[in-house]
Amino acid sequence: MKNLKKRLKAGETLNGCWLNLGSSLTAEIVGQAGFDWVLIDLEHGAGSEKDALYQLQALEHTAAGAIVRVESAESQRIHRVLDMGAEGIMCPKIGNPADAQKVANGLHYPPHGSRGVAKMVRATGFAQNFNQYYQESQETILGVVQIETVDVLNHLDEVAAIENVDVLFIGPADLSMELGIFGQFDHPRFKEALQETVNAAQKAGKATGILFFNPDDYQRYHDLGIRLIACGADATFVADGARNLAKKLDAFRSVIK
């Protein structure tokens, strides 16, 4: 474990990015790049749970902690990737406290949750370290719920107060879409929703997170109090690199006689 939960509790700012290609190779490249954490995306990403396993293996010997975004709060989706060795779970489209509680329950073994017990899994060293994993998991597994619906904005304090919900993570695209101001991240209503989320998290002693694609926005969100920061994705890195190089080559070709 890379201690993401402990570091956030200590007030650190953690820099990360998305992995949405489903590739163990890009996971390894990104993991070695210097990020504190990465997000393996099973909601919108190209990979499956099997691909997530390969990505977790590739990230094992890098400095980046691995969070997996599951498709839903169903306990099977959550404990399956935890058994593979994920350090945290992100769940999208939280609408109310009951949704968030379902996520929290799925993260931990009884009496702290309802996670099913399986010893012969990767997370426990295939049964070699089960007792240690069981004892430490309450303090190491990070629970992240996404704030991206209008409904949840009416329940932020309740969601933030739930035990084992560690991070309220703003999904800018979905939240702005639901607010009817898609992509308008400078809109007063979007800014208000951001501040409300940060305030609720801080009152409960929890962290706030966000994904953005322009590094120049870093100061803006950090100044708001957001500490789990994601910028970019492996697909973006590949696409931008390829396009930029193709443009340079085209420019050289256009001046060659």
Neighbouring CB atoms inside 10 A of 1's CB total: 18
Neighbouring CB atoms inside 10 A of 202's CB total: 14
Q: pLDDT for 73-94, tens place per residue?
A: 998 999 999 999 999 999 999 9
> Helices 24-31 and 234-255: crossing angle, nearest 10°?
90
- The verdict on whether 44 is a catalytic residue reads yes
**What's the pLDDT at 6?**
97
Degrees to nearest 5, angle at CA 15 with 46 and 223: 125
Q: Please state the rounded mean pLDDT for residues 101-116.
A: 96
**What's the pLDDT at 178?**
96
Q: Which of 44, 79, 108, 155 is catalytic?
A: 44
When computed from its CA atoms, the radius of gyration of the chain, rounded to whole angstroms, is 19
> Residue 1 pLDDT more than 90?
no
Q: For residue 113, which of 149, 131, 138 has the smallest C-alpha distance?
A: 138
Cα 196 off chain centre by: 20
Q: What is the DSSP secondary-structure string of 81-127?
A: HHHHT-SEEEE----SHHHHHHHHHHHS-TTT--PPP-SSSGGGTTT
> Residue 72 pLDDT more than 90?
yes
Q: What is the DSSP secondary-structure string of 178-197?
A: HTT-TT-TTSHHHHHHHHHH
The two three-digit tokens of residue 100, written as one number: 């968030």
CATH 3.20.20.60 fits 4-255, yes or no: yes
Q: pLDDT for 164-220, tens place per residue?
A: 999 999 999 999 999 999 999 999 999 999 999 999 999 999 999 999 999 999 999
Coarse DSSP helix, strand, coil percentages of the chain, rounded to the nearest 5 percent:
50, 15, 35
> Residue 257 pLDDT more than 70?
no
> Helices 75-84 and 97-107: crossing angle, nearest 10°?
40
Q: pLDDT for 122-167, tens place per residue?
A: 999 999 999 999 999 999 999 999 999 999 999 999 999 999 999 9
Q: pLDDT for 20-31, tens place per residue?
A: 999 999 999 999
Instruction: Give the integer Cα–Cα distance in Å for 257 and 254.
Output: 8
The pTM (predicted TM-score) of the whole model is: 0.96
Q: pLDDT for 245-255, tens place per residue?
A: 999 999 999 99
